[in-house]
A and B are shown apart, each in its own frame.
Chain A
Amino acid sequence: MQISISDFDSMIKRVTLVGKLDIMGAEVIGLPLAAVAGARGNIVVDMAGVDFIASIGIRHLVMAAKAVARGAGKLVLLSPTPMVTEVLLVSGLEQLLPIVRSEDEARAAFAGAGSA
């Protein structure tokens, strides 16, 4: 699992994940994702490169989304693969972890959300 953090735009952070979000992947993303979420600004998590996700990985995304929400921000998941999307939907997390399919859709999702 690889994680990189960059600016999506001046008010939004992009977190790009590549690899398996399993027990080992979750260890890799835990601290850096929590650090970005702690700033409580809006976050786009680019999931296009994540080919596997398990509940332990979902846990970190949920924790990050909650941290961001405490600052009135929002976290969205950009372009997860169909099988990763199915896991997220089965988990019933559409509200807390909204899925968007394009960068424009991501920007639209943040309209109205805080941008601390």
Chain B
Amino acid sequence: MREVPESSVPASTGSKTITAETRTFEADRVEAANIDEWIGTVGRQWGENERAIFAARLCVAELFANVIEHGEAQAGRDHITVTLTRCTDGIGVEFLDTCARFDPTARVIAEQPDPRASAAISGRGLMLIRAYTKELAYHNDGKYNHITLKIAR
């Protein structure tokens, strides 16, 4: 049984938590479909609108891809824990991973990445996360990267 750290989803002013679901996945690219399906299932069970569910799927997909592509993730060693929180003002997402430190709030990106830039296109995923969220926070507790975000309904 893997220890799951306490959730640190920040409560927005005036926001109340209705319910929450947490699940842990291996930091392995083959888990992408399982994570995506789980978010969709939870969102629909909560009766969330399709755009909010899509936004949650997109943000988690971007964070997951970042961990796999750039976080030096090792299947069998690293894992991620995702907590979805149904709040009065939207969907909260907490994404925890045991991979290399990455602070999405510290990265400065162009408003619109230059499409003529190299194929590496670093920053597009981060730009999408920022476009689809109204809150984004990061901290590292020495073991986990904690990324929390809020998607408006």
Task: Please report the C-alpha to C-alpha distance between residue A58 and residue B128 in the assembled complex, in whole angstroms.
Answer: 11
Asked if A90 and B128 sit within 8 Å, CB to CB, the answer is yes
Asked if B115 and A56 sit within 8 Å, CB to CB, the answer is no
Which chain B residues numbered 29 to 68 have a C-beta less than 8 Å away from chain A?
A: 29-30, 32-33, 36, 50-51, 54, 57-58, 61-62, 64-65, 68
Asked if A92 and B112 sit within 8 Å, CB to CB, the answer is yes
| 28 interchain pairs, CB-CB under 8 A | A20-B36, A22-B32, A22-B36, A22-B61, A23-B29, A23-B32, A23-B61, A27-B29, A52-B61, A54-B58, A55-B62, A56-B69, A56-B125, A58-B124, A59-B119, A59-B121, A59-B124, A62-B115, A87-B128, A90-B127, A90-B128, A91-B112, A91-B128, A92-B112, A92-B113, A93-B115, A95-B115, A96-B116
Query: Given known contacts A63-B119, A92-B113, is B30 in contact with A55 (CB within 8 Å)?
Result: no
Asked if B36 and A56 sit within 8 Å, CB to CB, the answer is no
Asked if B57 and A52 sit within 8 Å, CB to CB, the answer is yes
Q: Which residues of A contact B50 (CB under 8 A)?
A: 83
Q: Which residues of A contact B119 (CB under 8 A)?
A: 59, 62-63, 66
Count A-B contacts at CB 8 Å. 72
Query: Given known contacts A87-B128, A93-B115, A96-B115, is B121 in contact with A23 (CB within 8 Å)?
Result: no
Chain B proximity of A97: nearest CB distance (Å): 8
Cβ of B4 under 8 Å from chain A = no
Category for how many chain B residues contact A = 20 to 34
Q: Which residues of A contact B132 (CB under 8 A)?
A: 90
The interface size of chain A toward B, counting residues with CB under 8 Å, comes to: 23
Give chain A's interface secondary structure class: helix
- Shortest Cβ distance from A89 into B: residue: B131
Q: Which residues of B contact A56 (CB under 8 A)?
A: 65, 69, 125
- Known contacts A52-B58, A91-B124; can you find 12 more A-B pairs with CB under 8 A? A22-B65, A23-B68, A24-B29, A24-B32, A52-B36, A52-B57, A54-B125, A55-B121, A62-B121, A91-B128, A92-B112, A96-B115
Chain B proximity of A15: nearest CB distance (Å): 18
Contact with B along A47-60 (1 / 0, CB 8 A): 00000101110110
